[in-house]
Amino acid sequence: MTPSTTVARHDPWLTWNATIASITREGPDVATYDLTIDDPEVAQRYRFLPGQFNMLYMPGVGEAAISISGDPASPRQLPHTIRVAGNVTQALANLRAGDSLGLRGPFGSSWPVEQCVGKDLILVAGGIGLPPLRPVIYEVLANRERYGNVTLLYGARSSDGLLYPKQTAAWEDSITVKRTVDRASADWHGHVGVVTALLERLSIPRPEDTVLMTCGPEVMMWYTIRTALSRGLSKANAWVSLERNMNCAVGFCGHCQLGPEFVCKDGPVFRYDRVEPILKVEHL
């Protein structure tokens, strides 16, 4: 699973019918939709890599890019964790188990999981940034002996924004999980503050052999990278996933173009030094 630009091998414009097998409410505006592709032949050959996304299509409304948050070893179950942001995600939120929607993909580059073998791994996620990293955690858990120390630092505005609470608790048997919230409610007894504060305090015994992967609001990723570099990690070992307004998903329309890079086909996962100049420009 090298990080690569793996545009789907089939016709990338072809939308398949998918059915919602189940829906799990994750928070006030967030739910996870487990999708299955209807055509058994397509379902059988469908594969994805950690960090890739599908375009989900609501007829008469439009399409939205949504990360595949499932286990790449079980590509028949395709969970997508979705926060209501606008028209398409609102229409998706009105669906029920058993309903149909359109799906095309998978698109985009992937997290460099194979390059992490024998290394320590730090995953830093903010809010809805955890779903694109969850496939990495599935891979780590399935092959725990291949990796050194693995740490997930996870932050959200408030405790109800921390996704998959039961699952992240279970992960603590195998990896280190630290959580933080910006604002504590009465029932929160954990850390309060930005996620980079967790990174500042984290023990990093061998920074030269530590890989960082981060996904969340761009400002969070920018401070995360800055902190990681100050702790001795190299730019070559720092990876980000960018979410920009996307339309075609195949590098055609230019909606997600950032300088020379198309987030849809060159990303969404980029080695930090490749997008560093772009991330420094505000409002680009």
Ligand X SMILES: Cc1cc2nc3c(=O)[nH]c(=O)nc-3n(C[C@H](O)[C@H](O)[C@H](O)COP(=O)(O)OP(=O)(O)OC[C@H]3O[C@@H](n4cnc5c(N)ncnc54)[C@H](O)[C@@H]3O)c2cc1C
Binding site for ligand X (CB under 6 A): 53, 62, 64-67, 81-83, 85-89, 128, 131, 243-244, 246, 263, 268
Residue 84: is it exposed, middle or buried by C-beta count within 10 angstroms (0-12/13-18/19+)?
A: middle
Shortest Å, Cβ 192 to ligand X: 25
Q: Work out the number of other CB atoms within 10 angstroms of the CB of residue 249.
A: 27
Residue 163: is it exposed, middle or buried by C-beta count within 10 angstroms (0-12/13-18/19+)?
A: buried
233 or 246, CB closer to ligand X? 246
101 or 202, CB closer to ligand X? 101
Residue 141: is it exposed, middle or buried by C-beta count within 10 angstroms (0-12/13-18/19+)?
A: middle
Alpha-carbon gap, residue 19 to 97, rounded angstroms? 8
Query: Any idea which residue has 């987030």 for tokens?
Result: 263
51 or 211, CB closer to ligand X? 51
117 or 219, CB closer to ligand X? 219
Alpha-carbon gap, residue 161 to 221, rounded angstroms? 18
Residue 36: partners with Cβ closer than 8 Å, 6 or more residues away:
18, 19, 21, 43, 76, 77, 78
Own/partner pairs for 163-167, CB < 8 Å, 24+ apart? 163/26, 163/27, 163/30, 163/81, 163/127, 163/128, 163/130, 163/131, 164/26, 164/130, 164/134
Alpha-carbon gap, residue 244 to 284, rounded angstroms? 10
Strand 150-156 to 176-181 pairing: parallel
Shortest Å, Cβ 62 to ligand X: 6
Shortest Å, Cβ 63 to ligand X: 8
Shortest Å, Cβ 271 to ligand X: 16
Q: Calculate helix-pair angle for 218-230, 272-279, nearest 10 degrees.
A: 120
Does the annotation place 248 within a ligand binding site?
yes
Shortest Å, Cβ 35 to ligand X: 12
Q: Kindly report whether the peptide bond that precedes residue 268 is cis, defined as omega within 30 degrees of 0.
A: yes
23 or 202, CB closer to ligand X? 23
156 or 204, CB closer to ligand X? 156
Which residue's Cβ lies closest to ligand X?
Answer: 86
Give the CA count within 13 Å in the CB-facing half-sphere of 145: 0
Shortest Å, Cβ 92 to ligand X: 8
53 or 239, CB closer to ligand X? 53
Shortest Å, Cβ 253 to ligand X: 13
Does the annotation place 256 within a ligand binding site?
yes
Binding-site annotation, residues: 248, 253, 256, 264
Binding-site annotation, residues for [2Fe-2S] cluster: 248, 253, 256, 264
